[in-house]
Amino acid sequence: MYQSKEEIYQAIEAVGIEKFTERTDIIIKHTKECLGFAIADPQPDEIPIGASHIGGDPDLPEDFNWPTTSDGQPLTFLFQIDTTPLEPGMIAVFAGREITMVDIPHHVEFIAPNTPLVRTPQPDNLNKPHFYEDDSELGRSFFEIPLLLESYKRLNIPEDCSNAFREVIGEDEEWYEEYEALAINEPQDSDFIIQFRGNHVSYTLDDAAEDACEYYEFPKSEATNWINLVTLFSYRGYCICDAGVFQIVQYQGKEKTGLTHAAVQSS
């Protein structure tokens, strides 16, 4: 991810195709601010209440009601992140077993700044996503052993196969190779395991925002009102499906605000 627009301009120039520089305005139009979260090194003996972390138990308001599936089974806590460097507050993310790749029971708790929090043990009999129960020791440790996260502000250019990506490369994909070169030369934040905001990815046949429209029976014209909320990446030896991501998009239309849609995006 990039740290400034100047870096993006320089990267576009470095592709070395003069006509490709004409795509600069489109790329910048779709570039979005985000927070990237990396696993802290070293890890503290104890994670402070309210700190960003993945796995373990969440920090929640005392009157919090644990989210459940439609049949009453508790969802699994995945991670909590302090979003304050970009948007004031914190979010805690919960998910359950995938019904399909684009239909995943989930809950996002939006917590206002300065809300008193308590470390809350997870209940028994959790409904767990497949990617929570990864076979590798590394995969399980992401969730069973809490890991402190550190955040970094970045700029995120359009991601693979999204509608924004298609606009950049053109209807006939005439700029595909040049944009691929731009992506390859993008500064690598390989230690990021979570991204807040920025652009969503779309590894399925449709844009992730269009998947959300279909789920809620919205017209496809509403796709522009869905924005990326948070993305959990495959990380080193830990894979979500086929090196994919768990992603939640959020509806920002004039009505029904607060809707979210969760999916696993994988090639």
What are 37-92's pLDDT values in tens digits?
999 999 999 999 999 999 999 999 999 999 999 999 999 999 999 999 999 999 99
Q: How far apart are CA 120 and CA 37, in angstroms?
A: 22
| Spatial contact of 102 and 241, defined as CB atoms under 8 Å apart | no
Per-residue pLDDT at 177: 85
Domains of the chain: 5-264 (2.30.320.10)
| Spatial contact of 36 and 1, defined as CB atoms under 8 Å apart | yes
Q: What is the pLDDT of residues 112-151, one digit of tens each?
A: 999 999 999 999 999 999 887 655 555 556 688 899 999 9
Q: How much is the average pLDDT of 174-196? A: 78
In sequence order, what are the residues at sequence separation of 6 or more whose Cβ sits closer than 8 angstroms to the Cβ of residue 40?
A: 147, 148, 149, 150
* Secondary structure element (H or E) that encloses residue 183, with its range: helix 176-184
Per-residue pLDDT at 78: 96
Q: What is the pLDDT of residues 208-248, one digit of tens each?
A: 999 999 999 999 999 999 999 999 998 776 778 776 889 99
Q: How far apart are CA 142 and CA 264, in angstroms?
A: 17
In this structure, the number of other CB atoms found within 10 A of the CB of residue 194 comes to 24
| Spatial contact of 53 and 148, defined as CB atoms under 8 Å apart | yes
**In the numeric block, which tokens belong to residue 88?**
């004031």
User: Is the pLDDT assigned to residue 1 strictly greater than 90?
Assistant: no
| Spatial contact of 163 and 71, defined as CB atoms under 8 Å apart | no
* Secondary structure element (H or E) that encloses residue 60, with its range: strand 59-60
Burial, 135: exposed, middle or buried (Cβ in 10 Å; 0-12, 13-18, 19+)? exposed
Q: What is the pLDDT of residues 160-182, one digit of tens each?
A: 778 888 888 887 778 888 888 77
Q: What is the pLDDT of residues 21-37, one digit of tens each?
A: 888 998 999 999 999 99
Look-up of token digits 């779309």? 202
In this structure, the number of other CB atoms found within 10 A of the CB of residue 120 comes to 16
Q: How much is the average pLDDT of 89-96? A: 98
How far does CA 48 lie from the centroid of its chain? Answer: 23
